[in-house]
A and B are shown apart, each in its own frame.
Chain A
Amino acid sequence: MTNAIFSTWNDKLLDGRSSNTTFTSEQVGLPLTYAEDKDVNAIIGWSGIVLNNENTNIVSLACEYVKAVSMITCGECSIGFHGVKMSEDILNNLVQGTGSAGDADKLLYIIENMKSNTKCNFCSSAMKAVHDCLVYFKNDFEVASSPHEPYKKASVIVNVSAPCVEACPIHQDVPGYINLIKNGRYDDALELIKRNNPLPECSGNACMASCERNCVRKDIDKPVAIRALKRVACEYGTSNPVEPTKLNGEKVAIIGAGPAGIAAAKRLISLGYRPVIFEMNNGYGGMLSTGIPEYRLPQEIINKDYNEIIKLGAEFRGNTPISQVKDISGAYKATIICNGATLSRPSNIEGWTENDNGMYQGIHYLKSVYNKKIMPVSEHVVVVGGGNTTIDCARTALRQGATDVTILYRRTMSEMPAYKEEIDAAIKEGIKFEFLTIPVKVQRGENKVVEVVCQKIELGEPDESGRPRPIPIPGTEYTIYCDKILSCIGELPDTSIYGSKINLTDDGRVLTDKYGATSAKGIFAAGDCVNGPSSMAEAMASGKRAAEGVDLYLNKNSKIKQSKQEVFDTYHQAFLEKNVDEAFNFKMEKQESPVAELTYIRDNYEQVEKVLSKEQAEREAERCIKCYKVMMIARD
């Protein structure tokens, strides 16, 4: 167990140098090792410096760190920009042995002035750590200012992120593309987005936007419209046309063309492999097309993203369901399973019969509508659940001709996992909500559902998920008349195709390591079949990681930097924290995306949300306060 000897993290001074005391990770407030047991010598970042190994060369550490900070400093104020540049020069001299007496004082003068008067928090908080070095390791800087042999360069891992970036599973450079949009550089914004997003159009239109839920601006007024701005970049920007890439690598099979599969394909192409995608449906998209209704994500938008990756060099075999993984895995050096979570959890409502006339699992209902297997009828519909599928089902039911739609949810509106905008849109379209309610029994009449018996709930202590546990209240049963009931209580992967060599978790998901490797050699898995039902962005991240896993497996000289990833994962929580002083930030009005005024709703699958205008987009982009944070880890 590594302990720290010195720390200023989180404004807490822990100095055990003279007393030979050490401090635990809890005391410091940061992990002190990564990947369970790998030692860190020092950590330096936006909140201070932590030292585990007393022999670390502080001057050279500070120098490397300021080099990293200097890559990010923006230049919106000269005090920050030039302050960082000057510090870099001085530190460089100190490391090279070409410094002079008084350098430490100059550095202190510059940094003290930066701390009090920069435009945003970035440079001032980033340089606080160097200030700490100067104050608490004064002697080291004085020694460095007399002539000496150049110091050895520390071996470091740098991570730059922001609370929004960190909350995004694929780590989009949110402030980066927003700043480009602010300056009207739509083409560049799109290029930047595409660097780590294989599906810019799809995510611009229908991402769950976990970034927005962690946007610092949320504490000032409202989160920046990060997703809508991505759509803006896709709409007004043109990126370089893609050219088919020359690929000489091995062929890799991918089962399923959902977001995990296509993200894996794109990453494999960038690593030189030739991905072959087997898809049971005819078209592109997997759950994106069958699970997200057209009024949110039209098929032509999905096709735009997919066509590009196919053109890059992915082979697509549609209408090709795989009944056993081993049927194809034998012919490929590696296989990535991305078959999603397409089977429904058994419903525990009394009287429920699977896919019976009038009773549907949510995702099957959406898929049947997508495949035009269910025709619009006037009827009363009840939807059970609180996630995005629930809202999708409810709004789709309305478009399928329902006269009224009621959502039953066992907690309250604030606990609903569904996207806030979607809930609002559902309310606007006239969907009714019954909160703190569960269905207990479906009553059937002749050949069809006639009513559902409900029961009221009270909320108890928080459960494992942190949300209050629902407890039914006896004697509160009542009935709602309905013709159709849709249950959206979660999905599981179709495990029948896996065979016996692939180990599963207790609840029926594929068990993998961090890089998607399953227990069967050469077989990887990614997306919902590993994580359970989750977002498009999580699926993309997981697909990408599995592609890297394939490279680590097939290529002895793989360039995938595992330790870098381990460090990123270790300090994820610290980067997620929002620590911008909002006291003096101006409130700025959020630009809302225009919405289609639907004059009729039955059979109308027009996309409801419209794109922001350029003027709106540039104004919205002004709201981003660029909350970048830098952290550097030194190993030996």
Chain B
Amino acid sequence: MVKLTIDGKAIESKEGKTIIQAASDNNIVIPTLCYNEELTPTGSCRVCVVEVIADGVSTLVSSCDTPVKEGIEVYTNSENAIKARKYAIQMLYSQNSEAPAIRALAGKYNITEKLPVEESECIGCGRCYKVCSEVVERKCIDMSVGGLSNMNEKLSVKWNFDNCIACGACAYVCPTHAVSIHDEDGVRTMITPNAKHEFSMKKCSDCGKYYAPNVQIEWMKEKTGLSDDKFDRCMDCR
């Protein structure tokens, strides 16, 4: 066990936990945006920033991807933490002032002024990337970034639809709805920040309703090893 304090409260936490986990175990809420409990943290939005004093030295860290350490003092609402958090929210708000999740944060912290940055629905939080590689295990999404040899595009999420099973997990986790799925006339359309793709869907052999994209059913067959007839009806008729 690791002993630390959060906002003056003495806390014990398991080694390997993050500061945000330790806080939430003790009913201390830290605002977040890119963080999702089911995924490993991306640490990209910086909203969860807190002030940490370790060995007398104060630093600001993102609480979602920083492990607890023996003896540290964490302040979730110190002046420095609030200042940094406000800027992080201002940055998000400047890119996308429509998304409800961002509006809520901006409202709470009184952010109205925007920074001169390009507006875009996608704020590069990386959740879609994480869910697709960690949960769905398809790795369709590319978040390669800058570097020495300029081989990488900047700040972009790119879909490789050859791998995609149109499950929609990415749309589900996206905090800004920059990814979405729409089913119509036997076609599932996936809209991503820079591309659109259509997937044909399978008809239920009983009721005739389109119920899932073909690629997804193929994938389920492969995963489960069950025969074709286990997958030819929709949820309702099964």
Contact = CB atoms under 8 A, between A and B. Distances in A.
B111 to A, nearest CB: 13
B46 A175 contact: no
Contacts of A180: 144, 151-152
Contact of A82 (B54, B67, B117, B152): B117
B115 A79 contact: no
Contact of B80 (A77, A116, A184): A116
A89 B44 CA distance: 23
A72 B46 contact: no
B148 A73 contact: no
B82 to A, nearest CB: 12
A618 B130 CA distance: 12
B20 interface: no
B126 interface: yes
Interface stretch (B85-93, B188-196, B211-219, B229-237): B85-93
A618 B139 contact: yes
B84 interface: yes
Nearest to A70: B146
B interface secondary structure, majority: loop
Interface string A598-626: 00000000000000000000100000001
B11 interface: no
A119 B43 contact: yes
B60 interface: yes
Contacts of B94: 82
18 contacts: A74-B146, A74-B152, A76-B43, A76-B44, A76-B124, A76-B145, A77-B45, A78-B92, A79-B91, A82-B115, A113-B87, A116-B84, A117-B46, A117-B88, A173-B148, A176-B147, A183-B142, A195-B149
B173 interface: no
Nearest to A622: B40
A85 B154 CA distance: 11
A586 B148 contact: no
A584 B151 CA distance: 29
Contact of A86 (B62, B84, B117): B117
Interface residues of A, number: 43
A301 B44 CA distance: 41
Given A78-B44, A82-B117, A192 B151 contact: yes
A85 B155 CA distance: 12
A584 B55 CA distance: 13
A77 B147 CA distance: 14
A183 B153 CA distance: 12
Bin chain B's interface residue count. 35 or more
Contacts of B124: 75-78, 81
B31 to A, nearest CB: 14
Given A113-B87, A119-B62, A184-B142, A78 B149 contact: no
B106 to A, nearest CB: 15
A184 B158 CA distance: 12
A72 B151 CA distance: 11
A11 to B, nearest CB: 14
B123 interface: yes
Q: Which of B54, B142, B145 lies at the interface centre, i.e. has the most chain A CB atoms within 10 A of its CB?
A: B145
Nearest to A89: B116
B97 interface: no
List 4 A-B pairs, minimum CB-CB distance, nearest first.
A75-B155, A74-B145, A176-B147, A113-B87
Contacts of A78: 44-45, 91-92, 95, 117, 123-124, 155
Interface of A: 71-79, 81-82, 85-86, 89, 110, 113, 116-119, 160-162, 165, 173, 175-176, 179-180, 182-185, 188, 191-192, 195, 583-584, 586, 618, 626, 628
Interface in B130-174: 133, 139, 142-152, 154-156
B145 A179 contact: yes
A185 B83 CA distance: 38
Contact of B151 (A73, A79, A184, A188): A188
Contacts of A191: 151
B139 A184 contact: yes
A591 B43 CA distance: 23
Given A116-B84, A584-B59, A628 B147 contact: yes
Contact of A175 (B43, B60, B117, B147): B147
B46 A71 contact: no
A89 B52 CA distance: 33
B115 A86 contact: yes
Contacts of A76: 42-44, 124, 126, 143, 145
A75 B142 CA distance: 13
Contacts of A73: 146, 154
B148 A175 contact: yes
Contact of B147 (A74, A184, A586): A74
B123 A117 contact: no
Contacts of A160: 148
B141 to A, nearest CB: 8
Contact of A116 (B60, B123, B139, B154): B60
B181 interface: no
A37 B39 CA distance: 55
A220 to B, nearest CB: 11
Contacts of A184: 139, 142
B179 interface: no
Contacts of A110: 115
B24 to A, nearest CB: 18
Contact of B46 (A77, A86, A192, A583): A77
Nearest to B85: A117
B117 A85 contact: yes
Contacts of B62: 117, 119
B65 interface: yes
B20 to A, nearest CB: 13
A235 B62 CA distance: 37
A173 B149 contact: yes
Q: Which of B95, B139, B147, B151 lies at the interface centre, i.e. has the most chain A CB atoms within 10 A of its CB?
A: B147
B49 interface: yes
Given A78-B95, A82-B115, A583-B54, A176 B67 contact: no
Contacts of B178: none
Nearest to A81: B155
A625 to B, nearest CB: 11
Given A75-B124, A188-B144, 8 more contacts: A75-B146, A78-B95, A82-B118, A117-B84, A119-B43, A119-B46, A180-B144, A628-B147
Given A74-B147, A119-B44, A584-B67, A179 B152 contact: yes
B30 interface: no
